[in-house]
């Protein structure tokens, strides 16, 4: 339980189920927006590739292990997604300084353009939703989403000895 959590808050099963339904429907709506932006993209990449590109923008230098932890993909799945992005010229992987087997990935200019095109659409979708909820709801919505994300928020690229 997080430090600011109200232990008096007790929700009935029906209220929690309604929230799960909203999460499922909201996720479907967001990914439909992403897929519409991806449609016809010459790379032929999908939303899993976009998610990886977005996470690389927010957490530069993550590798297969961190991407798998963040997304719930298997290590093989995360490796395949990063390989596809590298094949398209959207990321560059370099041997890690502390461990040459670790290959941190960084977006290229083309990768940033790919990510930006889809993120722009998603930001518009979320801005509309936040306006509908009202300014006072934004902070609460973000706290709820952060609590749902849990420990995934703390996953970052390893330091890799760069500060040494």
Confidence of residue 100 (pLDDT cuts 50, 70, 90): low
Sign for the CA dihedral angle at 136, 146, 113, 132 comes to negative
Predicted pLDDT at 162: 44
Predicted pLDDT at 95: 77
% of the chain surpassing 90 pLDDT: 76
pLDDT at 154 over 50: yes
Q: What is the CATH number of domain 13-149?
A: 1.10.10.10
Q: Which of 57, 137, 138 is nearest to 105 (CA)?
A: 57
Predicted pLDDT at 164: 33
CA distance 51 to 48: 5
Residue pair 63/103 in contact by the 8 Å Cβ criterion: yes
Residue pair 162/106 in contact by the 8 Å Cβ criterion: no
Predicted pLDDT at 45: 95
Q: What is the pLDDT of residues 132-147, one digit of tens each?
A: 999 999 999 999 999 9
pLDDT at 27 over 90: yes
Alpha helices of 8-155 — where are they, by DSSP H?
Answer: 13-38, 47-58, 64-71, 75-87, 109-133, 135-149
Predicted pLDDT at 88: 96
* Phi, psi (degrees; rounded to nearest 5) at 34: -65, -45
91 forms beta bridges with: 107
Average predicted confidence (pLDDT) for the chain: 90
Q: Which of 162, 156, 44, 155 is nearest to 94 (CA)?
A: 162
pLDDT at 41 over 50: yes
* Phi, psi (degrees; rounded to nearest 5) at 92: -125, 135
């Amino acid at each position: 339980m997080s430090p600011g959590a109200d232990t008096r808050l007790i929700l009935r099963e029906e209220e929690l189920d309604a929230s799960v339904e909203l999460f499922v429907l909201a996720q479907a709506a967001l990914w439909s927006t992403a897929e519409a932006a991806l449609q016809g993209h010459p790379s032929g990449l999908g939303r899993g590739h976009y998610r990886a590109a977005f996470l690389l923008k927010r957490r530069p230098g993550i590798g297969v292990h961190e991407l798998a932890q963040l997304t719930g993909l298997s290590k093989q799945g995360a490796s395949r997604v990063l390989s596809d992005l590298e094949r398209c010229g959207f990321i560059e992987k370099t041997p890690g300084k502390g461990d040459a087997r670790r290959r941190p990935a960084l977006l290229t200019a083309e990768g940033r353009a790919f990510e930006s095109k889809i993120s722009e659409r998603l930001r518009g979708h979320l801005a509309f939703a936040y306006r509908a909820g009202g300014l006072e709801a934004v902070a609460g919505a973000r706290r709820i989403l952060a609590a749902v994300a849990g420990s995934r928020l703390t996953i970052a690229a390893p330091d890799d000895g760069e500060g040494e």
